[in-house]
Structure 1
Amino acid sequence: MSKLKVGVIGCGSIARHRHLPEYQLNAAVEIVAVCDIVPERAEEMATLYHATAFTDYQELLKSAEVDAISVCLPNYLHAPVSIAALNAGKHVLCEKPMATSKEEAEAMIAAAKANDKKLMIAHNQRFVASHQKAKEIIESGKLGKVYSFKTTFGHPGPEGWSVDGANSWFFKKEQAFIGAMGDLGVHKADLLRYLLGEFSEVGAFVETNAKQNTDVDDNAVCILRTADGVIGTLAASWAYVTGDDNSTTIYGEKGILKLESDPEYSLIEEYRNGESVYHKLGKIQTNEDGGQSKTHVIDHFVTSILENKEPLITGEEGKKSLEIILAALESYETKKIVSL
């Protein structure tokens, strides 16, 4: 069987740590093209992965050899580049948040439909073993009715992770559009929808109080309500100065689930009757593990193309998760609770 030929647009940290190494590990894939506006970066990755280097993504998209594209660019370029790739007949895996507005997200979805190509958004939280197990437990009824939740995603900030450090696009509003909420919060919005269903109302406080010389949010706390009345909080932060917190707690009628909150057990079930279950399910991926763990996003994208299946996180799914974050910003600006 001939291999799926892939191009990666943007050779920053997410491409280097996730997309390129994970495509390389997939036996069904051949990396044929890489693109970055910084020629040295494109050349470096091209040499490493035996691919052709481009500095103009439109030139890369003209290549008939490329079947699928990863869009690993600053947020404001996600929609235009994804749409151009879909219109060029390529399948697209786009980093999150998928777009900077609902309209952009809808245009991406329309382009995927019009060209009959896959569009997947790289929300990796759904592939984490503890999160999948929690969904199974919730759906089984073992927890009883779910009452509440709290989830957080924080780390010391992109300057330690981005290839450009403190000069990164993450801190530039015209390129990033949103800060910690787009970087981290949208992941948790997607996870909560995966676990608890759709949300109906959002309220938020959004601040820039931890980073200098930026006008994007670095600390946000949202209150969320699902369509059937489950309420809880979502925090996204670049101010967790000693390291990552990627934990979630689900509070139910018969017990609680603690996800990714214990260093040893990735999922702990605690019940009112005194019963506890401790699961070791493999570590959640962090930026620090040097690519030792797989996010499963790349493999899932590749499989969805090769087997012609709908990916788990379609454009529609990405848009719903984005809408929670957009509603949080609107809530903060208007000082009102926003209905979805």
Structure 2
Amino acid sequence: MKTFGLGLVGCGGMGRSLAVSANQIGTLELDTNEKTDETSVAVKVISVCDTNPSLSKKLSQDIDSEMTKNYLDLLKDSRINAILIATPPFLHKSIAVDSAAAGKHVFTEKPMATSLLDCDHMIQAAQSNDVQLGVGLVCRFHAIHSKVRELVHSGQYGRPISMKVHRTGGPWPGEPGHWRMKREECGGFLMEVNAHEIDFIRWTLSLNDCDHITRIYASGGRYLQENSDYADLVFLNMTLSNGTTGFLHAGQVSAAGGYGGSVDCEQASIHFPNIWGANSAIEIRTFDSHSDTILAKDILIEPPVKAEIQAFVEAILGNRSVPVTGIDGRAATEIALAAYDSIDSGRAISLPL
């Protein structure tokens, strides 16, 4: 049986989630007419790496993998086919470029990078070395997110007109100087957290490959996150080339918090007041007062992190483009940067930057 080997860089919370989830994939069957040992592929994390050896040691013991102190060791390992990157965002570019140059496919956590220049270097490195570049915008694999997009793209409620999403909570804990307190290193919470919601809106309202976001207007500022250098409240309007409008309310100033939204289509509204939690559901309401409810627990999905890694690996094995590409990751970064520019200038910002 063949093995598709993975190497992990960054053994913090998200890195651990990626590694544990990847090892849960088990064996994949290649899409062929005959099933043999040659068409079965075992997915396994071969080795993990972190600058904090206690993290890499603990994770390697928990998942029965090897460990190393230097990610360059992973790139020399012929057993490793792809690198999973779960470091602070400002480190993504150098690891991704080195990995691609070594002939390794790359899966990087969001945000892809904190600058468009870094995103472009990553995309170019993957293209030049004929490897795939995937980005961890995992909400595409969550029950509510994926079902909302499916309903919108089915066309059964007419074309979408507008979409709004809110994701709010309290301030991050963090000392001055920590990477999560510096926009240059984490991208601010609009990248570090809300890359997911930006991508969700863009992914849902783009009805074909030609649709794209053309204009950004944002307002907000820093109110409670005193140790950071970026806005902790953002109201973001996105205008798409197909005439639809997306709106995101993102913030770290809410003690109540919440995560939900809605899509208004020509014939109905698709309402999802609580994306996560016991009461998570989608409510569909038409103009003639008809309503339907889809409970999240009735939407059959794989665990999202496992699903995103499996989709990444299956695309590589099947010689297809990965489902969430560097172009998708770059778009989320570009929109966040445009939002920051809009807040600072008080003007609408046209895309591309």
Q: Normalized against structure 1, the TM-score is what? A: 0.89
The whole-number CA distance in structure 2 between the counterparts of 1:260 and 1:118 is 36
Residues 71 and 78 in structure 1, CA contact (< 8 A), matched pair in contact too: yes
CA change 1:215–1:149 in 2 (3 A) is same
Between the aligned partners of 2:53 and 2:298, the Cα distance in structure 1 is 35
Distance 2:289 2:176 in 1: 48
CA distance in 2 between counterparts of 1:39 and 1:207 reads 38
Q: CA deviation at 1:169?
A: 2.5
Q: Which runs of 4+ in 1 moved over 6 A?
A: 164-167
Equivalent position to 1:92, from 102, 106, 110: 106
1:208–1:217 contact (8 Å) kept in structure 2: yes
Name the structure 1 match of 2:179. Answer: 169
1:23-62 → structure 2 map (5 Å cutoff): 23-27=22-26, 28-62=42-76
> 1:217-261: CA deviations, max 9, x gaps?
322211111112222421222334345x33121112222111352
**2:337 maps to 1:326:** yes
SS at match of 1:216: coil
Letter of the structure 2 residue corresponding to residue 67 of structure 1? N
TM-aligned CA distance change 1:133 to 1:233, over 3 Å: same
Q: Which residue of 1 aligns with 2:78?
A: 64
Matched length:
326
Counterpart of 1:9, as a letter, is V
Instruction: Check conservation: 1:184, 1:236, Cα contact below 8 A.
Output: no
Q: CA deviation at 1:92?
A: 0.7
Distance 1:132 1:326, change over 3 A: same
Q: What is the SS of the residue equivalent to 2:67?
A: strand
In the alignment, residue 285 of structure 2 is paired with which amino acid? E
Provide the residue aligned with 1:3 in structure 2.
3
Q: Give the Å deviation of 1:114.
A: 1.1
Larger radius of gyration: 2
2:266 & 2:58 partners in 1: Cα distance?
54
CA contact 2:144–2:272 (8 Å) conserved in 1: yes
1:241 paired residue among 249, 255, 265:
255
Q: Which moved more, 1:232-241 or 1:91-100?
A: 232-241
Q: 1:294 to 1:157 in 2, by over 3 A?
A: farther
Q: Is residue 275 from structure 1 mapped to residue 286 from structure 2 by the alignment?
A: no
**Partner residue, 1:79:** 93
- One-letter code of the match for 2:267? K
Alpha carbons 2:262, 2:270 under 8 Å: kept: yes
* 2:91 counterpart letter in structure 1: L
Residue 19 (1) aligns with residue 18 (2): yes
Equivalent-residue separation in structure 2 for 1:260 and 1:74 (angstroms): 31
Q: Could you tell me how far 1:269 is from its partner in structure 2?
A: 0.7
Aligned partners of 1:270 and 1:277 also within 8 Å: yes
Question: Over residues 16-59 of structure 1, what are the superposed CA-to-partner deviations in whole Å (9 max), with x where a residue is unaligned?
Answer: 2x201101211031111111111111111122122222222123
Structure 2: runs of 5+ lacking an equivalent = 27-41, 207-211
1:250 aligns with 2:263: yes
Secondary structure (helix, strand or coil) at the match of 2:7 reads: strand
Counterpart mapping for 1:201-216 below 5 A: 201-216=215-230
> 2:5 & 2:350 partners in 1: Cα distance?
42
Letter matched to residue 252 of structure 1: C
Helix, strand or coil for the counterpart of 2:44?
strand
Q: Name the % identity.
A: 27
- CA offsets, 1:147-196, max 9 Å, x none? 2221122333554xxxx8998531233421x2210122211111111110
Aligned-CA RMSD value? 2.3
Deviating more after overlay: 199-208 vs 2-11: 199-208
Residue of 143, 160, 181 corresponding to 2:190? 181
Query: Tell me, which stretches of 5 or more residues in structure 1 are unaligned?
Result: 285-291
Q: What SS does the aligned partner of 1:99 have?
A: coil
